[in-house]
């Protein structure tokens, strides 16, 4: 397997491969998010307790679950970069961080906009909300550590260690609603047993979760490719691309 995988650790091949993958991610992401959002806003039934305010769920839950998934992706890439010294993995981790930060902010903000009419408050310092806020700070920490060193090998190592240590926060977010009493409701989507949610609401939600995942993938590819170019400015193939861009 390593023999087969190894050529892809070459920056130029990674740049080209991610370029061919991008349209698939982008198209599917647009498709899923459009279907999920239109279905959720227009066709999903009104909740008998929360009325139409619950429709925030179709962006809140995808953003929140993907903020954690993106963090795991970033930490995995950082781990690979640290252990096997694969620079491409470091660059991938650096490309995910800003996207994760935006998604986490969206999860927090939509949560607040949902909390105000339902709980009567924008914010409470309970376990779920606070640990998600810590996730945002972890992302911001990784971004600023990576940005503060001129030497990007060193920068990736520093940011990578923070990303890996921060993984401890993920199970805390996930199980916070079970470990501590919280205003936040426990999860309604269950993998092992039947979800406590009508399928009419569940399907658009699942479609949007998938759509958010694909969208994060697509934006990661875009940033990853720019990062490859920025880190390989001395290579002839990048210089050719730069020349072509200058002519334009």
Which residues contribute to the site for another protein (CB under 8 A)? Answer: 41-46, 51-53, 55-56, 59-60, 63, 98-99, 102, 105-106, 109-110, 113-114, 116-117, 215, 219, 222-223, 225-226, 229-230, 233, 238-239, 241-243, 245-246
Residue 115 or 141 having the CB closest to another protein? 115
- Which CB atom, from 63 or from 68, has the smaller least distance to another protein? 63
- Give the N- to C-terminal CA distance of the chain in Å, as an integer: 41
When the beta carbons of 70 and 82 are compared against another protein, the nearer one is: 70
* Cα 170 from chain centroid (whole Å): 13
Phi, psi at residue 185, to the nearest 5°?
-75, 150
Shortest Å distance, C-beta 50 to another protein: 8
User: What is the DSSP code string of 189-225?
Assistant: --SSS--SS-HHHHHHHHHHHHHHHHHHHHHHHHHHH
CB of 45 to another protein, least distance (A): 6
Residue number, 17 or 172, with CB nearest to another protein: 17
CA distance 236 to 248: 19
What length does the chain have?
Answer: 248
What's the min distance (Å) between Cβ of 186 and another protein?
21
Is 67 within 8 Å of 107 (Cβ atoms)? yes
Q: Which of 247, 226, 229 is CA-nearest to residue 238?
A: 229
Give whichever of 163 and 215 is closer to another protein, judged by the CB atom. 215
Strand-pair partners of 47: 51
- Residue 173 or 238 with smaller CB distance to another protein: 238
Q: What one-character DSSP code corresponds to residue 47?
A: B
- DSSP letter at 7 equals G
Quote the least distance from Cβ 64 to another protein, whole Å: 12
Rounded to an integer, what distance in angstroms lies between the CA atom of residue 74 and that of residue 93?
A: 5
Least distance in Å: CB of 76 to another protein? 21
Q: Could you give the count of Cα atoms lying within 13 Å of 162 in the half-sphere of its Cβ? A: 21
Residue 157 vs 231, nearer CB to another protein? 231
Q: How far is the CB of 108 from another protein (least distance, A)?
A: 10
Place of tokens 């740049």: 15
What is the sign, positive or negative, of the torsion defined by CA atoms of 115, 121, 122, 127?
A: negative
Find the shortest distance in angstroms from Cβ 10 to another protein.
19
């Amino acid at each position: 397997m390593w023999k087969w995988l190894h050529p892809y650790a070459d920056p130029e091949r990674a740049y080209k491969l991610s370029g061919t993958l991008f349209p698939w991610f982008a198209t599917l992401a647009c498709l899923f998010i459009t279907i999920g959002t239109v279905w959720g806003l227009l066709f999903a039934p009104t909740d008998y307790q929360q009325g139409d305010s619950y429709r925030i769920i179709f962006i809140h839950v995808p953003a929140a679950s993907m903020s954690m998934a993106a963090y795991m992706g970033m930490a995995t890439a950082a781990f690979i970069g640290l252990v096997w010294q694969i620079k491409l993995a470091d660059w991938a981790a650096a490309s995910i961080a800003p996207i994760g930060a935006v998604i986490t902010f969206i999860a927090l903000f939509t949560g607040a906009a949902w909390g105000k009419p339902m709980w009567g408050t924008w914010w409470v310092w309970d376990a779920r909300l606070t640990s998600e806020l810590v996730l945002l700070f972890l992302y911001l920490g990784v971004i600023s550590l990576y940005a503060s060193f001129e030497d990007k090998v060193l920068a990736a190592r520093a940011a990578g260690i923070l990303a890996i240590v921060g993984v401890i926060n993920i199970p805390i977010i996930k199980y916070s609603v079970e470990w501590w009493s919280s205003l936040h409701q426990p999860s309604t989507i269950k993998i092992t047993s039947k979800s406590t949610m009508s399928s009419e609401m569940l399907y658009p939600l699942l479609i949007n979760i998938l759509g958010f995942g694909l969208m994060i993938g697509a934006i990661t590819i875009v940033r990853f490719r720019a990062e490859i170019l920025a880190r390989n400015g001395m290579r002839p193939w990048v210089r050719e691309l730069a020349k072509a861009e200058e002519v334009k």
